[in-house]
Amino acid sequence: MTEPITRLNAMRSTLRRMAGLCVLLAACGGEDAVERPAAAAEVDAEAVAAAEAGARGLDHIRFLSADSLEGRLIGSEGNRKARDYIEGVYRSLALSMYEGTYLDPFAFQVNDETREGSNVVGYVEGTEQPDRYIVVTAHFDHLGVRDGEIYNGADDNASGTAGLLMLAEHFSANPARHSLIFAAVDGEEGGLRGARHFVSDPPVPVADMMLNVNLDMISHNDSVLYVAGAYHTESLKPVLDAVASASAITLRQGHDSPDLPRGDDWTMASDHGPFHEAGVPFVYFGVEDHPDYHRASDTFETINQQFFLDAVETVKQVILRFDGLNRP
Ligand SMILES: [Zn+2]
């Protein structure tokens, strides 16, 4: 068993003990507690389950952005540790796999030298339209070590990868109408390599991909999460409007128009770009660049934990609402 899975299991059993304690405390809490209606107990159980899931999500960020992973540069040992960790979580959730493996390796050239990266891909079959797919992506690679300094990449993009794992956990227990593919992609830094590979050699026909949901930097802000994509696919706007009106954070649409100043149009800025080029609608979730962006200070300590949890919940609501609709 790999270290991360041991950690995950240890955390799960701790949380289970905590949950048991909560139930015990409620039961021993005097007459009020005993007489509480069943609905209140259900709400408590839901809150405890959500807190447990959130703790696991934060633990994913903590692990992926630890110094021991040395910034997860594509092809490095730290990158492989991240890949193994993600694979271990997929396995623990019993995500379905294509061709008997979660790993989808690809080669690329750097100065006449052939190097390798690998996406980590699993899926949850849909209950009503299994041949139509929503593809969730997040890149797990980052910049590695530069001038002796580890670029931990907590926000960029341990946060999006952790969000992807939380969504995989939710939807593996509660399958959606459409199938959901979870693609943790490699090599975003330096050319969207993993996403380009996924789209050019896809596990299912690109024409059957209804939507790409890309997460890249979702933990480093106090209130505003951007979502790009509706400029290109107008039918997504009402979906995003509805989720925004009920979100704990501000979900702001934008950063997707070619009329914006250079750099402000994020249409090709992350792994949703190759999907867009292939004609797949996308929603990209991310925050504005910040002082720790692509710096050694992008660490677990500088993210906003509550913002991250609210962001993941917001993305989940977008998927649920979109899943209730047909192809836009
Ligand atoms: Zn990134």
Dihedral sign (CA 119, 65, 174, 19):
positive
* Low pLDDT (below 50) residues in the chain: 1-33, 327-328
Say if residues 96 and 126 touch (Cβ distance below 8 Å): no
Domain membership flag for residue 328 = no
Whether residue 161 lies inside any domain: the answer is yes
Task: Write down the pLDDT at residue 206.
Answer: 98
> What residues are paired with 145 via a beta bridge?
150
Q: Residue 201's closest CA among 106, 74, 101, 97?
A: 106
Q: Is residue 184 part of a domain?
A: yes
In a domain, 104, yes or no: yes
Q: Residue 107 C-alpha to ligand 1 middle, in angstroms? A: 20
CA of residue 20 to ligand 1 center, whole Å: 38
Stated pTM of the model: 0.88
Please report whether residue 226 resides in a domain: yes
Specify if 213 maps to a domain.
yes
CA of 293 to the centre of ligand 1 (A): 9
Write down the pLDDT at residue 110. Answer: 85
Domain that holds residue 25: 3-323
Residue 128's pLDDT is: 95
pLDDT at 158: 98
How do residues 46-99 score in pLDDT, each as one tens digit? 999 999 999 999 999 999 999 999 999 999 999 999 999 999 999 999 999 999
Which residue shows structure tokens 């593919």? 181
Which CATH number fits the domain that encloses residue 296? 3.40.630.10
> How confident is the model at residue 233, as a pLDDT?
98
Taking the centre of ligand 1 as the mean of its atom positions, its distance from the CA of residue 189, in whole angstroms, is: 7
Ligand 1 centroid, distance to 98 Cα (angstroms): 26
**Count of structural domains within the chain:** 1
Task: Please report whether residue 218 resides in a domain.
Answer: yes
Helix (H) or strand (E) holding 3: helix 3-27
Distance from the alpha carbon of residue 16 to the mean position of ligand 1, in angstroms = 33
Q: Distance from the CA of 23 to the center of ligand 1, in angstroms?
A: 40
Note whether residue 172 is domain-resident. Answer: yes
CA dist 158 and 153 (Å) reads: 6
